[in-house]
Structure 1
C-alpha cells in the first residue's frame, strides 16, 4: 500500500489533511510526480501539501483536489476552517460561483497592474461580488481605498474620491496619511482640503472662481495616489462609475492616463437612465483601460452559487432557477430566497420596469410576454393587427429602454423574468385574447409547432381546438422520442376528450390511440405506475373499445401490474385475458407482444418451462406477421431466460440476435434487447468492457433522444455494476454521476441504489446514508433485493451489522420471493452471511445457530438455488465464500475455505471480492500463528482493494496489528 506519511497534527488542519489523504487513497494513490505534472506545481510542493504540518495555499490545494476528482467546494470549507483556526491569518477562499478567470484578472490587476480595469455588465450580473472577492483575496498584501458612486437626486462632485481618501485618512488616526503627505509637494495638502476639510491648515478660503483650482486638485490627488503606490502595494476601487458626476469621470480619466495608480471600477452597461454623455465617456475610456465584461453564469455555476447560499436547493430546483434567471446572479439569488419563503424585492424591481409602459409599447411587451419566446416582426405585426412600420418605431423605443432584444432577426423581451412581469400585469380577458391571436398566427405558419399552438389554444380557453393540436403535439413528441412530453400531451388530450366518444375530429382520432399513448409514453419516460390508474378506468368502460383495442390495453396494464412492481400474479392473469381475446382474432403483433410478456412474467414466477414455451410461440407469431423488431425482442428475452437457467450458450444466442439488426429502427425494442444483452454478460461474468460495449449503442440513442425510461436506468446500472465488480469504482461513478447528482431517487430508484453502493465503497458515509434514507422498500418486488443489498453493504462497512441484519429481514424475510435477479442473488446471500457472522462473532452458540438457520431458510425459499451447478456463473461463483462465511458464523473459520473463495474471485477478475477473502484469511492465519502467510495475504489484499476505501482501511488495521 503506497500511502504517504502523515504529519502530526490536530484540530481543523488534521481534518483537512486526513481528507486529502483519503482522497489520494480513493484516487488510486497517484504518484507525486504525476500529480505535479497534472497540477503544474513542483513535486516538492505536492509532497509538502500531504506530509508537512504547514497549511498549503488554497491555490495548490484546489489544483490537487481537482486533479484527483475530489469535491473542491467541500475542501474549501475544510481549508477555511483550518486557515482561521488558532493564530492563522490566511485569507479565506473567495465565496463566488464560477468567474475563475475573471477573479484571477482582478487579483492580478490589484497586485501588479496599472491604470484602470473596468468591470462591466448588466445590472445584477455580479460585478460587485467579483470586485469584493478580488479585494478580499489581496487584502493581506495590498492596501485598498474604496469609494462608491450613488444615484442621488443632486450630484456631489468627486464623492467616491472623498469616500476613498477618507478611508486612508482614518488609518492610524490620521498618522499614516500625514506621513505620506510629508513627502508630497506643499500644495497637495491645501488642494486636498477641498475633498477632506479636516486637512485644512489655514483659515484661508479658496476662491471658487480660481481657474486653476481643478488643475491643482487633480494634480494633488495624482501626487497622493502616486505616493501611496510607491510606499507599498496600493489600489483605488471605485464602484458604479456609471452614476458618477462629470468631475469624477474627468479625474479617473486623468489618473488612468497619467499615473501608475491601479484603479478598479464597475460600470453597468444596460441602465437606460445613464445619460448618453456618460455612455460616450465609457466608450472613450476603453481606449486607455482594460475592460472585463461579465456574462451570465452557466447552469453548473448557478448550482454552485445556490450551494454557497446554503438554502438546501436541490440540483433539479437549481436547474429550474437557472432556466428562469438565465444565469444572472442577482435574479438567481432572489429566486432562491423566494423559493425558500424569504422576502425578496425582485418582483417589485421587474414590475416597475414594465409598469411605465403604455400604448403600443405595452401591447408589444404583453404579447411577447404571453408568447414567452422570440417572434419574427411579421408574426408580431399580424398578431397585433398593426402596421409593420409603426411597429418598428415601437420596437426601437423598447430597445432603447433596454427591455427588448434582437437575436437572429427575432425580437424578444430581454429576460424571461421580464416576460413574467408582463404576464402578471395582464387581466384574464387580455391574456385569453392574446393567446388566441398567437394561436391563429402560429397555426398558420408552415413550420407550426403543435405543442406551442396547443398551449395558446389552452390559454385562450378553446378546448376543441386545443384537443386537435394536443394530439398532433403528442404524435410529434413520440416521433422524436420525447417520451415525457408526449405523455403529458396525451394526458391533456385525455382530460379534454368528450367522455362517451370513441373518436373525435374531422380527421378522426380514436380514444384508444390516446390511452395507449399515455401508457406507452409513461413507460418510456420511466413512470409506469402513473399509467395503471388510467388503464383501469378505461377498461371499466367496455363499450368504448373493440376486441383488439381492449386486448392491447390489457397487455399494457399487465406490464404495470407485473411482479417486477407488485407481489402476486395479477399481472399474469391480466395478460392471460389479453391472450384469450387475441386468439379470437387473426394472428397479430399484439398476440406476439402479449405472449412475450407472459413468458417474462412466468420467468419471474419461477415457471421456466412454461416461460420458454410462451416465448417460442411469441417469436413464431412475430415472424409470421412480419414484425422483425418484436421478433428480435422476443428472441433476446428467450436468450436471457436461457442464461438464467445456467446455460452459457445464451451469450452466443444474444450475440446472434444483436448481429441480426442495427440499432436505431425501434428505440423501445433496442433498449429492451440491450438490457437483456448486458444482463446475460453479467450473469456469465463477462468483462466490464464487453458490458459497456453492449450497452453503448442503445444508450447513445437514448441520450440523443433524451429518453430516460426504466430500461435506460437499468442499462446504466448494469454498466456500473460491471465496473464495480471489476474493482473500478471511479469508472463506475463516471457512468452514474451525471444521472444521480440529485439525491432524490424519483419513481425508479435503481440508479440511486447503485450510486449509494459506490459511495459506500468510496468511503462517503454521510452521502450514502442520506441517499439510502430516501429510497423506500416495498415499492418494487424485484428492486427490493437491491435495496436490501445497498443498505446491508452500508451497515456492514460502517460497523452496525446487527441493524443491517434486522433491516435485511424486514425487507426480504417472511415473504414469498418470486425471483431475485439471477447473477445478483449469490452476492446478496454472501453479504447476508457476512452480516450474520459479524453480528454474532464471539456470541453464544445458540445465537449463532439460530442465525445460521435463518440464512439457510432464506436460501431454501428461493425458486432457484444460486449455488447449485446449474445456476448462473455469477451466482455459483459465490458458493465458496458462502461456505467460508458460514464457517465463520459457526466459529469454524478456516484459511483453506477462504483460499478456495480467493481462487474463484481471482479467476473471474473480481479484485475487491478476492481482497475481502484474503483479509479474512489473513485474520485466521494470524490467530493460528501463520504470520508469514498472513503477511503475504495482507500485501496482496491491500493491492487488490484499491478504490475500496472501507476495505482498505480494514486491511491496514489488520496489517498494523500484525506489525
Structure 2
C-alpha cells in the first residue's frame, strides 16, 4: 500500500488549468497590504480586514501578499475558520496558525511560551497537557487571551510576523472574542494581522456583525473591500487562463454571466472546457458549480460528496475509512478531483479540501437527506473505530457533529456532552454553551437507558451537591442546566444565563421531591446575574437561597450561599449582619473542606472588619488570604485580595501603601492574564494617586483602563476618576461628560454606595463650580436620605466638604439665602453620621466644621490654623493648599499677620501650579493681587508692583457695577432700569463679564464674585 502522505504530495502537484497564473487587478489592495508590512517591520503592529463576496478573489489576494511577505523575510502563519455548524471548533484559526509557527520557529515558540505551556496548550495541544486555572475561573478566558497576545508579541519582537485568519464569517464565538482582544490590546511587535470574510454572508443578525462594528470604531484597523472585476480585468484573467488571446465574444459572454466574479469566471471557463458551451449552462449558480463535479468519473464524484460532508478539511485516513475504496482506486479518484481543480491537497497536513468553499456547499446541498445522514454515520463510526484519524483536540467536537447530523440521539447525546467537556477545558465557554443546548435538545429523544448511564461528575463540573452520590446518581436535566448557566455567565451571555436559571427553578418548583440545595445554588447564581445586569441588587434571590438552606446540615452550597450574602453586605451595608454571614460562611466552608469558598469568605470578612473599625485585624486577615491564594495558585482570588486590600488601605488614608500594593497586583494580573482583575486594581491605583496629588499619573492610569478593558464597572470608575481630576482643574465641561459616562454605567437599580456616593460627591463639586447651588443642595439631600453605611466615610467626607464649601462660598448671595438654614442642618446631620477613623478623615472633619463656620460668618484664623495643622503631616497636597489659601485669606482680613499670610499664599499657589489646579491657582493669584503680595520671593526686574485699585480680571468700573447686580440676582431688565441703560447694553455687559471671568453662567459668576470678594473694597 502506498504512503498516503506521499499520495497527497503527488496529488498536490497535479496541473490545474482554470486558474490564471497572472495576478489580475488588486494593485491598490496589494499595495495597502505591503505598506502595512513595511510599517510592521518598523515596529508598528498592523491589522487589516479583507472583505468581499464569495469568489471575488480574497484568497488569491492573500496568497500574493503571502508570497511578497515571504520574499521580504517575514514569517507567515495561516489559519482558517472551520465550518461545522453550531459545533464550530473553538479557536480553530489560531490553533492552526500557532501550529504553523511551531513548525517554522520551534525553538523560538518554545522560549516564548516558557512557563505558560499548560495554558497555551488549550490553543496549541502540542505544547503538552492543558493546565492552569480551573475551567470555572472567571478570568480563565481572559488569561488565555492575554498569554496568546504576549506570545505573538514576543515572537514578533525580532522578526516580522504575518498572521492570516481566513473565513471569519465561520468563526466561532471564542475565535471572535480572541481576535477582538488581540486587535484591541496589541501594542508592540512587528506583527501584521490579516483577516478575511465574506461580506455577502454578513446579514443583519450574523454574529460577526457586532464585531465588525466594533472594529470599525478602532482607528488602528484598516478595512479593504474587494469589488468585482471590470471587463478589462476579466479579459486579462481569461488571457492568463487560456494562455492565449480570448475571442471578444467569449470575453463578453463570460463577463456578462460571471458579473465580474473571479471564481465564476474560472468555473465558466472550466465548464466550457468540459464540453458544455456557456450558452448551454443553467442560470442556477448551483448548477454551474456542479458542472465539473458531474463531469468526473463516478468514484471521483463519490469521493467529492464524501469530502463535502466531512468538514472544511478531511484527513486522508478518515476519507479512506469512509469511502471504502481500495487504495489505488481512492488515489485515482482523488487524482481526477484534484486534476479538475475541485479538490486540493492540504499543504501542511494529510488531507484534502475543496479549492473553493462555494463548490463544497453546492455538493453538500446536492446530497439527499438520507445520503447525508448515512455519510455522517460512516464518519462517526470510522472515528470511533480509530480515534487517531483526526487531531486529538478536534476529535470530540467532530464526533459530536457527525453523530448529531446522523440523527442518532442515542449516540449523539453522549458525544455532544463529551465535546462540551472538551470545549470547557479550552475555556471556550460560548461553544460549550451551544453544545449543552444541543444536549438539552437531544435529552428527550435519547433512550432512557442511555441517559441512565451518564454521570454528573463526568459532564457537569458545576453540578451542585444535593445529598446524593454523584458516582451512582444519573445525570439529570437540572445538572445540564446548571452547567449551561455557568457557561453562559463565563462567556458573557448573562441574559441567557438568567433565562436558564429561571427554567431550572421552574423545573424545581414542579418536582414532587423538592431539592433545596440545588434550588439555593440556582438562586445564588440568579442574585449574581441580577446585580451584574443592573436588574436589581440581588437581595431577594439571596434571601430565598438563605431560607432554603436554613436548618440543613453544613454543605458546600450552604457555604456558597452565606458567602454570597456576606459579599452582598460588604458592598451595600457592611454591618453586623454582613459580618455574621461572613463568619458563618468561613465556618461552614471549613466544615465541608471547601477551601476556595473559605478563602473567598475570609477575604470578604476581612474587608467588612476594616469597614466596621477593626482595622488591623481586618487587614491581617486580608493579607493572609492574599498569601494563601497565591501559594495555592488561586490567582483570581489572589487578585481579588489585591483589589480589596488597596481599597481598604485607601479608606484608611494609607494611599502610598495602596499604590505600592496595586503595582504588585498589576504585576500578578499581567503575568497571570487576569484582565478583568487588572482593571479593578488599576482603578483603585488611580484613586490613590489622585489622593496623593499625582494627578497626571492618575489620569494616565484611568485612560489606560478605558482603553484596555470592556467591563462596565471598572470603566465607570475610570470615568469617575477623570471627572474628579477635571473638576479640580477647572475643566467643568469635561468633568460633566465623564460624570454622564459613569452615571450610565452605575445605573440606579442597584445603588451600591461605593459607586453612588463618589458619583454624587463629584457631581456636587461640578455643580458648585458652575454656581448651581440648588443642584448642590438637592444632591446632598439625596445622599443624606440614603445614608452613609459603615466604611463609606471615605466617600461621604469629600461629598460633605464640597457641599459645605459651596454654601460658604455663596454666603451673602440673596438667591442663596432661601433654604440655607435647612441646607446647613442637613450638612450637620451628615457630619454626625460620618466616622473619622483615620487622621485623613479627622482632617476632613476639621475642615468641614470650619467651612460651616464660614458659611455662617464666624470663621477665625485660629480654627483655620487647626485645619492646616491637621492636613500638614498627611500626603494630601490639594486639600492642604486649599486650607492654606483659606487661612491666608482670613489672616489678611483680620490684619496684622501679613508675612505669615504671604508664606501660606505662596505655598498654596505653588501647589496649585504643580497640580494644574486652575481654580485654586486663580483664587491665589487674585488674593495676592488684591493684597499686593508678590507670589515670587522677589519680583522680577521691570515687573511693576500689583495695583490695588486694578481689577485682576480686567473688569471696567461699569462692569463691576453690573456684576454686583448680577450677584444680587437682578435680571438684565432690572439691571438696565437701575443703571439707566438699555436692556441690550446690560446684556452686552453681562456677556463681557462672563467671558472675562471665564464662567459659563450668571450663577457661577455670582458665586465667584462672592468667593473671591470681587465686590469688596480692595485692601
So what's the TM-score if we normalise by structure 2? 0.52
**Structure 2 CA distance for aligned equivalents of residues 800 and 333 of structure 1:** 58
Partner residue of 1:592? 559
Match for 1:125 among 18, 29, 42?
A: 29
**Deviation sequence 1:308-363 (CA, Å, 0-9, x none):** xxxxxx998458658999966413999xxxxxxxxxxx998587588766546999
**Structure 2 CA distance for aligned equivalents of residues 526 and 455 of structure 1:** 24
- CA change 1:489–1:932 in 2 (3 A) is farther
- CA change 1:632–1:928 in 2 (3 A) is same
Partner residue of 1:609? 576
**Structure 2 CA distance for aligned equivalents of residues 525 and 441 of structure 1:** 33
- CA change 1:425–1:661 in 2 (3 A) is same
Partner residue of 2:873? 907
Partner residue of 1:758? 722
- CA change 1:781–1:756 in 2 (3 A) is closer
Shift of 1:371: 9.1
Partner residue of 2:741? 771
Partner residue of 2:845? 879
Partner residue of 1:553? 522
Q: What are the residue-to-residue correspondences of 1:164-313 with 2, within 5 Å?
A: 299=183
Match for 2:624 among 656, 666, 669?
A: 656
Which has the larger displacement, 548-557 or 930-939? Answer: 930-939
Partner residue of 2:751? 781
- CA change 1:373–1:554 in 2 (3 A) is same
Q: What are the residue-to-residue correspondences of 1:434-473 with 2, within 5 Å?
A: 444=387, 445=390, 447-449=392-394, 450=396, 468=414, 471-472=417-418
Shift of 1:643: 0.4
- CA change 1:527–1:694 in 2 (3 A) is farther
Partner residue of 1:792? 763
**Structure 1 CA distance for aligned equivalents of residues 262 and 849 of structure 2:** 70
Match for 1:805 among 776, 780, 784?
A: 776
Is residue 400–residue 415 contact of structure 2 (8 Å, CA) maintained in 1? yes
In the alignment, structure 1 residue 638 sits paired with structure 2 residue 605: yes
Is residue 840–residue 847 contact of structure 1 (8 Å, CA) maintained in 2? no
Shift of 1:792: 0.9
Counterpart secondary structure, 1:655: helix
**Structure 1 CA distance for aligned equivalents of residues 905 and 218 of structure 2:** 55
Counterpart secondary structure, 2:630: coil
**Structure 1 CA distance for aligned equivalents of residues 654 and 648 of structure 2:** 8
Shift of 1:722: 2.4
- CA change 1:753–1:616 in 2 (3 A) is closer
- CA change 1:694–1:953 in 2 (3 A) is closer
In the alignment, structure 1 residue 827 sits paired with structure 2 residue 731: no
Which gives a bigger RCO, structure 1 or 2 (Cα 8 Å, sep 6+)? 2
**Structure 2 CA distance for aligned equivalents of residues 905 and 409 of structure 1:** 74
Q: What are the residue-to-residue correspondences of 1:59-208 with 2, within 5 Å?
A: 125=29, 127=31
Is residue 758–residue 795 contact of structure 2 (8 Å, CA) maintained in 1? no
**Deviation sequence 1:207-257 (CA, Å, 0-9, x none):** xxxxxxxxxxxxxxxxxxxxxxxxxxxxxxxxxxxxxxxxxxxxxxxxxxx
- CA change 1:494–1:834 in 2 (3 A) is farther
Is residue 527–residue 541 contact of structure 2 (8 Å, CA) maintained in 1? yes
Shift of 1:447: 1.3
In the alignment, structure 1 residue 728 sits paired with structure 2 residue 694: yes
User: How much is the aligned-residue C-alpha RMSD, in angstroms?
Assistant: 6.0
Partner residue of 1:717? 683
- CA change 1:682–1:129 in 2 (3 A) is same
- CA change 1:446–1:756 in 2 (3 A) is same
Partner residue of 2:225? 331
**Deviation sequence 1:857-879 (CA, Å, 0-9, x none):** 5566xxxx3334xx466655532
Is residue 537–residue 749 contact of structure 2 (8 Å, CA) maintained in 1? no
Is residue 719–residue 739 contact of structure 2 (8 Å, CA) maintained in 1? no
**Structure 2 CA distance for aligned equivalents of residues 828 and 366 of structure 1:** 72
Shift of 1:905: 4.6
Partner residue of 2:506? 540
Partner residue of 2:822? 850
Shift of 1:679: 3.0
Shift of 1:826: 2.9
Is residue 885–residue 905 contact of structure 2 (8 Å, CA) maintained in 1? yes
**Deviation sequence 1:923-943 (CA, Å, 0-9, x none):** 556666676555544543455
Is residue 699–residue 715 contact of structure 1 (8 Å, CA) maintained in 2? no
Counterpart secondary structure, 1:727: coil
Gaps of 5+ in 2: 1-22, 39-57, 72-159, 165-181, 195-207, 229-257, 269-288, 294-299, 456-474, 930-1019
**Structure 1 CA distance for aligned equivalents of residues 536 and 690 of structure 2:** 29
**Structure 2 CA distance for aligned equivalents of residues 914 and 840 of structure 1:** 23
- CA change 1:841–1:323 in 2 (3 A) is closer
Partner residue of 1:65? none
Is residue 686–residue 701 contact of structure 2 (8 Å, CA) maintained in 1? yes
Counterpart secondary structure, 1:626: coil
- CA change 1:656–1:604 in 2 (3 A) is closer
Shift of 1:577: 1.1
- CA change 1:698–1:728 in 2 (3 A) is closer
Is residue 762–residue 799 contact of structure 2 (8 Å, CA) maintained in 1? no
**Structure 2 CA distance for aligned equivalents of residues 674 and 940 of structure 1:** 36
Is residue 749–residue 775 contact of structure 1 (8 Å, CA) maintained in 2? yes
Counterpart secondary structure, 1:778: coil
Partner residue of 1:516? 482
**Structure 1 CA distance for aligned equivalents of residues 382 and 781 of structure 2:** 61
Is residue 840–residue 874 contact of structure 2 (8 Å, CA) maintained in 1? no
Partner residue of 2:1012? none
- CA change 1:759–1:373 in 2 (3 A) is farther
Shift of 1:677: 2.8
**Structure 2 CA distance for aligned equivalents of residues 608 and 273 of structure 1:** 65
**Structure 2 CA distance for aligned equivalents of residues 947 and 573 of structure 1:** 51
**Structure 2 CA distance for aligned equivalents of residues 810 and 455 of structure 1:** 61
**Structure 1 CA distance for aligned equivalents of residues 810 and 318 of structure 2:** 73
- CA change 1:568–1:351 in 2 (3 A) is same
Is residue 378–residue 388 contact of structure 1 (8 Å, CA) maintained in 2? no
**Structure 2 CA distance for aligned equivalents of residues 836 and 446 of structure 1:** 73
- CA change 1:370–1:301 in 2 (3 A) is farther
**Structure 2 CA distance for aligned equivalents of residues 499 and 895 of structure 1:** 85
- CA change 1:538–1:727 in 2 (3 A) is same
So what's the TM-score if we normalise by structure 1? 0.54
Counterpart secondary structure, 1:720: helix
- CA change 1:808–1:485 in 2 (3 A) is farther
**Structure 2 CA distance for aligned equivalents of residues 793 and 424 of structure 1:** 66
Shift of 1:655: 1.9
Shift of 1:778: 0.7
Aligned residues: 661
Shift of 1:574: 1.8
Shift of 1:834: 4.4
Counterpart secondary structure, 2:818: helix
Is residue 792–residue 832 contact of structure 1 (8 Å, CA) maintained in 2? no
**Structure 2 CA distance for aligned equivalents of residues 794 and 363 of structure 1:** 77
Shift of 1:459: 7.9
**Structure 2 CA distance for aligned equivalents of residues 299 and 750 of structure 1:** 20
- CA change 1:739–1:436 in 2 (3 A) is farther
